[in-house]
Amino acid sequence: MLVCFARTAILAVTLLTGIGGAVADDLADFNAAVESTAAHNRVAMGYLRTGNADLASLEIDRLRATWSILTERFAGKRPAAFDGNPLYSKLWTVGSARLVAADLMLNSGRPEQAVQSLAGLRGDLYELRKASHVVVLADCVRDANAIMDALMVYNDRTLEWTKPETGAGIATTASSYGSTLARCDGIAGEPVHASAEFRRLVDGTKASLTLIPGAIAARNGDLMHRILIELRSFDNLLAFRFG
């Protein structure tokens, strides 16, 4: 009797472990497939912003192809992490419409609108994962981008240093950016975390952030401008490669 009970318990644990593994694998597979699509999205947006319409068009074609594969695999196979999330079912029709719109905008000579459509898809994926508490590097980088936008408000050589809120605002926003960057660094899995490119961007950003207190203390608008331009460059590259 005890042997039978023990075997039943072992079987139950095995089944539960297997189910948990399958759920984790479903989400991991989904995240990997989305990243394959998102990589083309990032590159297409980068080409559009630099005025290279021909290469942007090629990337949008690749993006649409990978999106089609993603849709075929997961539109009808929702990972358990997204159970109860109404954004999941909407993603596929809205995402496809955004890609059609991006293609149409580009072909009609409106690259800015094409960028908006592609950015919209990035936003859709961000909101989907956020609503289900799914954490990926791309979303953390997006959070960092938003904080950098706020920090760039201080990119002015004629900052009003006599106002206490100027230095305090810069310090607070820079600290928030540093904390978010550290979170992104922790989220990044191997081999990204150890890659030379990722380390150069993250470590370079950290080094630049350490210069901000000195610029504030010296009330040096020119130095602050140079630091912020460097930080924005790192931030743009992080978004282009990992966002």
13 within a domain of the structure (yes/no): no
Sign of CA dihedral 8, 13, 17, 20: positive
pLDDT at 90: 95
Given 93, 118, 134, which residue is the final one in a domain? 134
Both 158 and 115 in a single domain? no
Q: Residue 191, preceding bond cis, omega within 30 degrees?
A: yes
Share of the chain above pLDDT 90, in %: 82
10 within a domain of the structure (yes/no): no
Both 143 and 122 in a single domain? no
Query: What is the tally of structural domains in the chain?
Result: 2
Q: Is 179 left (phi over 0), alpha (psi -120 to 50) or beta?
A: alpha
Domain span holding position 70 = 25-134
pLDDT in tens, 51-74: 899 999 999 999 999 999 999 999
pLDDT at 25: 58
17 within a domain of the structure (yes/no): no
Q: What angle do CA 138, 93, 58 make, to 5 degrees?
A: 60
Whole-angstrom Cα distance, residue 184 to residue 173?
A: 16
Q: Whole-model pTM?
A: 0.81
State the chain's mean pLDDT as an integer. 88
Poorest-pLDDT segment among 17-31, 152-166, 169-183: 17-31
Given 115, 134, 153, which residue is the final one in a domain? 134
Both 130 and 143 in a single domain? no
Given 102, 134, 166, which residue is the final one in a domain? 134
Both 188 and 120 in a single domain? no
Beta-carbon contacts of 222 under 8 Å, excluding residues fewer than 6 positions away, are 157
Torsions phi, psi for 166 (to 5 deg)? -65, -60
Q: Are the CB atoms for 82 and 26 separated by under 8 Å?
A: no
